[in-house]
Amino acid sequence: MALNRPGAPRLGELAKFLAMDRTTLTANLKPLERRGLLVMQPDSSDKRSRRIGLSDAGRDLLVQAVPIWRKTHDDVDVLLGRDDTQFLKADLLSLSFGEA
């Protein structure tokens, strides 16, 4: 889902977005790259940096996965017993980014 965007993000940008360190993210992306679900290419403006994007196969698989992803999130909301998840999301943001 984090790669489902118009432009391919840099590895560092994606790591920050996912609240992961670059080394862990790279290790987690390698199997997806081997399966042909994403592509890593040098950034055209900075060859030291890599950009990551979904391949056609990755986009096709994402189309299949989104309904499952949405249902899982809905199930979690039901299990938490909250009609309004705004407070939970605010708490999670506070924990992950130090914001209130």
Q: pLDDT (tens digit, 9 = 90+) per residue, 38-94?
A: 999 888 888 788 899 999 999 999 999 999 999 998 898 888 776 666 777 787 778
The dihedral built from the CA positions of residue 5, 65, 58 and 15, taken in this order, carries a sign that is positive
- pTM of the entire predicted model: 0.71
All domains in the chain, ordered by first residue: 11-97 (1.10.10.10)
The beta strand positions in 2-81, using DSSP E, are 38-42, 50-54
